[in-house]
Amino acid sequence: MKLVQFYREKELRVGVVEEESRIRPLTFNGDFIAWLEAGRPAEAEDLSLTLDEIELAPPVARPGKIIAIGLNYLEHALEGSMKKPKEPLVFAKFPNAVTGPEAEIQWSMQITEKVDFEAELVVVIGERACNVPEKEALKKVFGYTCGNDVSARDLQFGDKQWVRGKSLDTFAPIGPWLVTTDELKNPQNLAIRARLNGTLMQESNTANMIFPVAELVSYLSRHFTLFPGDLIMTGTPSGVGVFRDPPVFMADGDLIEIEIEKIGTLKNRCRVY
């Protein structure tokens, strides 16, 4: 099943994607996390809307946590002249960074001049998870979506820690929808790509993760409790802009697309002010 959030009379609602161009709203009056907390009521309206009739929102608009994993593809570590990590490299992005499909990624040139893209598979937690064994970890996952770990490299490397450069408003686009685990059972064999203005920049497969999803969920749950609606950004493959020769950074008007097999394509336009 594919679930979306969308705005209806300025309120967030949940819907089911029946085709990639039509949405059936659920009767539940609330957003995705409220829907999870209410027991996931499945009743739908007798109404079908086209994507042109609605404004899509992030599949999860108010996550409690955004947990990100650095250097989780070996080729990405090597392109930055860094060693393969022995355990997951964990950092955070603030929830204010979340934005949705077709929304603008925005930044000020007075704050950053080196804004980069990172294609990532995003895990959406569906159940409270604390000290979960790896073999049970995927049961705590509700679904998956596409994500872009947008990064202000001058802030990231200048600060020598990553939170500020990763957490500017709009720096965590996710979408276009969430694919549930009953439809996507294996997260470790998905093609993943990033295109900048139509040019292929990143191409890999989630099979190349150093730490797969089940191991990440188990590892994180041993350090802090995961709650429904928490997001895990699972790392990016090689091909990011900062390590290219010459470097390639996003600019005003650029279109960045993150595509993940069996999920869809997340599209965002850049806007510099």
Domain ranges of the chain: 2-57, 66-272
Q: Identify the band that residue 118 occupies on the pLDDT scale cut at 50, 70 and 90.
A: very high
Nearest CA to 227 among 140, 128, 141?
128
Query: For position 10, what pLDDT does the model report?
Result: 85
Over the chain, what is the mean pLDDT?
A: 96
Alpha-carbon dihedral 44, 47, 48, 53, rounded to 10 degrees: -110
0.95 exceeded by pTM: yes
Burial of 190 (0-12, 13-18, 19+ CB in 10 A): middle
- Cα torsion angle, 141, 143, 144, 145, sign: negative
Class of domain 66-272: alpha beta
- Mean pLDDT for 155-176 is 96
Q: What is the pLDDT of residues 84-100, one digit of tens each?
A: 999 999 999 999 999 99
Locus of tokens 């409220």: 34
- Mean pLDDT for 187-211 is 98
Query: For position 220, what pLDDT does the model report?
Result: 98
Other beta carbons within 10 Å of 113 = 14
